[in-house]
Amino acid sequence: MDIKKELRLLKEEKLRRLQMLHYQKNPVDWLEERFGESRKNVDWELWGGDYKNHVWDGSISPFKYAWQALADGNKKVGIESATGTGKTHWLARVVFWFLDCFENSFVVTSAPVAGQLKTQLWSEMKSSFHKFKKIRPYAELFDSLRLLVDARGFDNLEDDEANQNAWQAVGVASRASSGSKSNTSRQGFHREHMLIITEETPGIDLASMEAYINTSTGEHNLILAVGNPDAQTDTLHNFCKKPNTKHFIISAYDHPNIVLQKELIPGAATIGSIEDRKEEYGEESAFYKSRVRGISPAQSIDSLIKAEWIKQCINLDIEKDNSKNAVGVDVANSINGDKACVAYGESNVVNFIKEFNCPDASHLAYNLILPLDELMNEGYHIFDIPNIKTKGIKGEYIGVDSVGIGTSTINTLHNKKIFAQALSGGQNELAIPKDKDEKPLYQFASLRSQMYWEAREDLRNKKISIKLEDKRLIERLITELVEPKYTVTDKTISVEKKEIIKQRLGGKSPNIADSFVYWNWARKGYFVKKAAFLPFG
């Protein structure tokens, strides 16, 4: 080979590598100089005009600085965003940048279901792929949610196993099996240069998110979590609160269309769209805070119970109503699995809640009705909970979730002539609010839905006082009570199933909330049939 040509090629390769090193550290330069798009798309301050005196509602130029955080090697970057800010458009550029600048890199994009990836991020990648193809001419994009940077030499481009070590981006749906603490199927991703992007992150279960974190062990393994915030208990907000996470908020009030009062970017947020949402939902609503300002509300926009309703009942000075002393029992039958929980209260004041490991559901029944010395003499497991006699609770005001393993607790109590309330089945007609013509205002999909609705209304109307000394326990109660979501169809109210809630809580059952709800129901005696009971003690 000609020496001059060889030296020229070496010089060109050195220059190329230096350029890539520069673009690795300066992604906005890459966007403009290599990808051919204006840096103003991500650096909003460059629009000038009213931005000179603009008071930012969210993070300053969030796309620019979040991208720079990734370039600086921050392993975790979280973005809570309003709608209509262009985050999907930006995410596609982040994918292309990472693949282009880091040789043999791997990008994993994830959303709760594959359909969301296809219609959002990968649709945006498809529409701008021609620009990437221009700088990476051997790249190929497939409908199977795969992008190969260099498709040469691949006999079967759709073969997952054969291509697992390829220089590529892939899209995967993210769902964990019920009850798991981490989704181990998401732990097989490994590469020196790896970026995991989670889109619609609030809908991704905690288990899958933990699996992504656990698999990102390399020095240059990064995670970018993005979405419209749903609640302070959701997966995105939990990720944003983690130590060393760079957290950004994108508010529609900071978008060029709003600041410069002109629709500069078609399809994005407008002054009119903000005003419509303000009028329909109110500025203090969870929906407005989430979808307009990118602020994570205390609870989901479709949460059954709001955090402020619970907080107003903490240490509330309240007159006791005519309800009875009661205990709500969420049963367990496992040494290391789900825990049991009991909630005791005097009339409408809950004053004791305890969660504990319970290896025998029948022994839980004995703990409720027998004194400590008798429990010890009989060799029963001791859970250190008050028996109902010391709390002044009659047997019929024990409310037990009798679905599944709860049957054992109920049967044991019945064998001892303690006829506790078995909380299962359909709604109770006695407890449904009626209109002036004595017709039900609505129906319930199940008794569980009805009991949760009853707790909702009592908290909302300050009919309950929560007097617990442990502040951490109160926080956990709030976290679990605001988690359930509900739907209303043809006047039928349905609270989502426990297993769905459990997934979002990272595999933890909402035992504390359930026992509280059962206590609130049991104290009112809806299921008490006086003739059926024998006196206790």
Question: Is the Cα torsion angle 469, 472, 473, 474 positive or negative in sign?
Answer: positive
Q: Report percent pLDDT > 70 for the chain.
A: 92
Per-residue confidence (pLDDT) for residue 1, from 0 to 100 = 55
When pLDDT is averaged across residues 396-421 and rounded to a whole number, the result is 93
Establish whether domains 63-152+161-293 and 308-532 are of one fold: no
Q: What would the pLDDT profile of 377-393 be if each residue is shown by its tens digit?
A: 999 999 999 999 999 99
**Mean pLDDT across the chain, nearest whole number?**
89
Q: What is the pLDDT of residue 371?
A: 94
Look at residue 181 in the predicted model and tell me its pLDDT.
41
DSSP bridge pairs for 77: 224, 246
Model pLDDT, residue 179: 42
* pLDDT tens, residue by residue, 41-93: 999 999 999 999 999 999 999 999 999 999 999 999 999 999 999 999 999 99
Which residues contact residue 81 at a Cβ distance below 8 angstroms, ignoring those fewer than 6 apart? Answer: 62, 87, 226, 227, 228, 229, 249, 250, 294
Which stretch of 1-10, 122-131, 158-167, 480-489 has the lowest confidence by average pLDDT? 158-167
CB atoms within 10 A of CB 175: 17
Model confidence at 194: pLDDT above 80: yes
Q: What is the mean pLDDT of residues 502-512?
A: 82
Spatial contact of 244 and 69, defined as CB atoms under 8 Å apart = no
pLDDT tens per residue across span 143-176: 999 999 998 876 555 555 556 789 999 999 885 4
Q: Which of 203, 201, 230 is nearest to 296 (CA)?
A: 230
pLDDT at 11: 67
What mean pLDDT comes out for the span 202-229?
Answer: 92
| Domain ranges across the chain | 63-152+161-293, 308-532
DSSP string, 362-390: HHHHHHHHS-HHHHHHHT--------TTT
Residue among 260, 280, 267, 208 at smallest CA distance from 238:
208
Separation of CA 521 from chain center:
28
User: Does pLDDT of 415 surpass 90?
Assistant: yes
Residues making up the chain, counted from first to last? 537
Give tens-digit pLDDT for 299-326. 777 789 988 899 999 999 999 999 999 9
Q: Which of 119-133, 224-238, 336-350 has the lowest mean pLDDT?
A: 224-238
C-alpha to C-alpha distances, 151 to 100, 348, 363, nearest whole angstrom: 14, 68, 63
Segment 239-252, tens digit of pLDDT: 999 989 999 999 99
Note the pLDDT of residue 408: 94
449-490 residue pLDDT tens: 999 999 999 999 999 999 999 999 999 999 899 989 898 887
Fold that domain 308-532 belongs to in CATH: Nucleotidyltransferase; domain 5 (3.30.420)
Choice between 194 and 161, residue whose per-residue pLDDT is larger: 194
3-state DSSP helix/strand/coil % of the chain, to nearest 5: 40, 15, 40
Mean pLDDT of 420-436: 86
DSSP state of 485: B
What is the mean pLDDT of the segment spanning 16-20?
86
Give me the pLDDT at residue 535, please.
Answer: 34
Taking residues 428-445, what's their average pLDDT?
83
Which is the CATH superfamily of the domain at 63-152+161-293?
A: P-loop containing nucleotide triphosphate hydrolases (3.40.50.300)
User: pLDDT category, 286, cuts 50, 70, 90?
Assistant: confident
Environment class of 83 (CB within 10 Å of its CB; exposed 0-12, middle 13-18, buried 19+): middle
Judged against a pLDDT cut of 70, whether residue 183 lies above it is answered with no
State the pLDDT at residue 303: 85
Out of 104-108, 111-115, 486-490, the most confident range is: 104-108
Encoded tokens for 245: 């996470």
pLDDT at position 529: 57
CA dihedral 522, 526, 531, 535 (to 10 degrees): 20
Q: Where are the beta strands (DSSP E) in 265-320?
A: none
Convert the pLDDT of each residue in 515-531 to its tens digit.
999 999 999 998 885 43
pTM of the model: 0.67
pLDDT for the residue numbered 176? 44
**pLDDT the model gives residue 336:** 80
Say if residues 466 and 458 touch (Cβ distance below 8 Å). Answer: no
H or E stretch covering 147: strand 146-148
